[in-house]
Amino acid sequence: MKKELEQLLGMPVRLIPWTKKDELPLYLGHGREFWVTSVGWINFLLVTFSIEGRLNAQQLSAQVKKIERIAEMPVALQCSHLTFYQREALIRKGIPFVLLPNHVYLPFLGVVMQTNLAKEEKVVPEKMQAATQMVFLYLFYQREYIPQISKSELAQKLGLSKTSITRAVEQLSFFQLLQQEESIRTPISLVRGESLKRAVRELLIDPVQKRILVLRKELPDSVLLAGESCLSEYSMLNNPSIEVYACDKKQKWIDQCTEVIPLLDIGNYVELELWKYPPELFATDGKVDILSLYCSLKANLDERVEGELESLLEEIKW
């Protein structure tokens, strides 16, 4: 690693083991190596770090800052592998990293080599990201009314940035779900047929970020019927003992709700699903949309729920 760093930075590098690892909480230190790294007059702590799956940049930034406070020096992550999206998230959050042999982002040294990042082949996650799912659902539900739509129109309809729309379109193209020519000005539309059903089964994510129990009287009228409560409206399934509703996790009124623990008097509280995207964008008649409903329940092990969900999918005109 020392030789590769020197070649990459063009300067002598000194690495010595950090002796204060035991001062870190176990979750920050376990399984990682820590090296005090000297480049010229600058010292920083290089931490071996493995990032798997979807990157929570906010949480990772908080961990880095905690290590910095204890180490009393800047911290950089030494990663063995990063996807395009993970690298972009680290840079956007200002988290220093080293990805040998070619990439380094050390702003405290004034060293930023990211010229090649955007030119690399972009590795798309195995499942859709939330913004991608929003675009997919909009195109799906509007396919009979708006056969084609531009990226700028999508951004306006969904309240997403142009950058988010571009990434979403790239992912959908990777999954071969779009009818789109090479020109970026060409309006986009979804493919038809069984590939859409495959996408729902395999590529769409669970829209629910978190589930909490709250007092029924504190819910606004804008919440939507969700979960098994919603499924019971579409099927012969009985209503669950605790009603289920959904809302966007970003709603400010959520912080004012009283979160409760299960009690005997179940009539006073409901289950509230906090969604990764606004469910009202695709809702009808006060209920969450069918595809999102399917995704929120497909991990349910109840055979009755599974059977009703499959019946719902079979009724859709793909």
Same domain, 215 and 192: no
Residues 236 and 278 in one domain: yes
pLDDT confidence of residue 264: 58
Instruction: Verify that 102 and 46 share a domain, yes or no.
Output: yes
Verify that 191 and 243 share a domain, yes or no.
Answer: no
Instruction: Find the domain containing 40 and state its range.
Output: 2-113
Q: Which residues lie closer than 8 Å to 261 by C-beta, 6 or more apart?
A: 213
Do 215 and 182 reside in the same domain of the chain? no
- What pLDDT is recorded for position 85? 75
| pLDDT at residue number 108 | 86
pLDDT at 249 over 90: yes
Q: What would the pLDDT profile of 145-195 be if each residue is shown by its tens digit?
A: 887 888 899 999 999 998 899 889 988 988 889 885 444 456 888 988 888
Give the global pTM.
Answer: 0.61
Assess contact for 112 and 153: CB atoms under 8 A.
no
The answer to whether residue 225 is domain-embedded is yes
SS3 for 223? coil
Is residue 118 a part of any domain in this protein? no
Percent of the chain with pLDDT strictly greater than 70: 91
What's the CATH number where 52 sits?
3.40.1350
Average pLDDT value for the chain: 87
Whether residue 14 is contained in a domain is answered as: yes
**Mean pLDDT for the stretch of residues 123-148:** 87
- Is residue 314 situated within a structural domain? no
Q: Is residue 248 part of a domain?
A: yes
Domain termination residue (choose one: 161, 183, 202):
202
Q: Does residue 313 belong to any structural domain of this protein? A: no
Say whether pLDDT at 118 is over 60. no
Would residue 317 count as lying in a domain?
no
* Per-residue model confidence as pLDDT tens digits over 291-318: 999 999 999 889 999 999 999 999 998 7
Domain count of the chain?
3
Question: Does some domain include residue 125?
Answer: no
Same domain for 281 and 216? Answer: yes
Supply the pLDDT for residue 54: 57
Last residue in a domain, options 83, 113, 143: 113
Domain shared by 213 and 189, yes or no: no
Q: Is 81 exposed, middle or buried (0-12, 13-18, 19+ CB in 10 A)?
A: exposed
Pair 11, 108 in one domain = yes
- Tell me: do 241 and 138 sit in the same domain: no
Q: What is the pLDDT of residue 307?
A: 94
| Beta-ladder partners of 48 | 78
**Residues 66 and 93 occupy one common structural domain:** yes
Predicted confidence (pLDDT) per residue in 221-245, tens digit: 999 999 999 999 999 999 999 999 9
Directed axis angle between helix 194-202 and helix 290-297, to 10°? 40
Q: Do 284 and 246 lie in a common domain?
A: yes
Q: What is the pLDDT of residue 194?
A: 85
Amino acid identity, position 159: G
